[in-house]
Amino acid sequence: MRRHGAEILRFCLSVLGDRAAADDVHQTVFVEAWQGLEGCKPIEKPRAWLFGIARHRCLDAVKARRRWFGRFSPTDDVSKLDVPASFEVSETFEISETVEISHRTTALAACVQQLAPHARVAVLLRYEEGLPYAEIARMSRETAAALQTRVARALIALRACLKKKIEVLR
């Protein structure tokens, strides 16, 4: 957990977009990993194994959230994301450039959240976590080619979404 805990939590937060849900899934991942170690053969790539568990638990949480909101009407708009600016203003940036980057970061996060859960997970594992398609394929039990196709289609959707959001900002 010391070695991979922060990146697993960041991944869960990226997929779920909700800190409380991400914390729950993060804890579940390491509890399941601990329980899975008993009677298990040595794990060649523990990071990939943990991301595989995290992927499945995040998808479970997305399904549970979808079922919940299917039964109950939310009191506020769930589609709005609370995405803080994740960078500090430095002396080299003009204020307008800083605001522009902040808007783009927020728009990208919102667009990523609009992707279907399986596409979102594939994109985040590939680009945020930097995992190769072969490793993602092993943990998701899919082919690398299928993942590449899913990510390529998701990137097209992300570009279109970003283009719309940035045009609205201008």
Tokens (6 digits) for 84: 């803080």
CB contact at 8 A, 54 and 25 = yes
Please name the residue ranges forming H helices in 38-170: 46-71, 95-114, 117-123, 133-140, 144-169
Each of the 170 residues of the chain gets a pLDDT tens digit; together they read 889 999 999 999 888 888 988 999 999 999 888 888 777 777 788 888 898 899 899 888 888 887 766 665 544 444 444 444 443 444 444 555 555 666 777 888 889 989 998 999 999 889 888 889 998 888 888 999 999 999 999 999 999 998 888 777 66
Which of 83, 128, 107, 28 is CA-nearest to residue 120?
128
CB contact at 8 A, 123 and 115 = yes
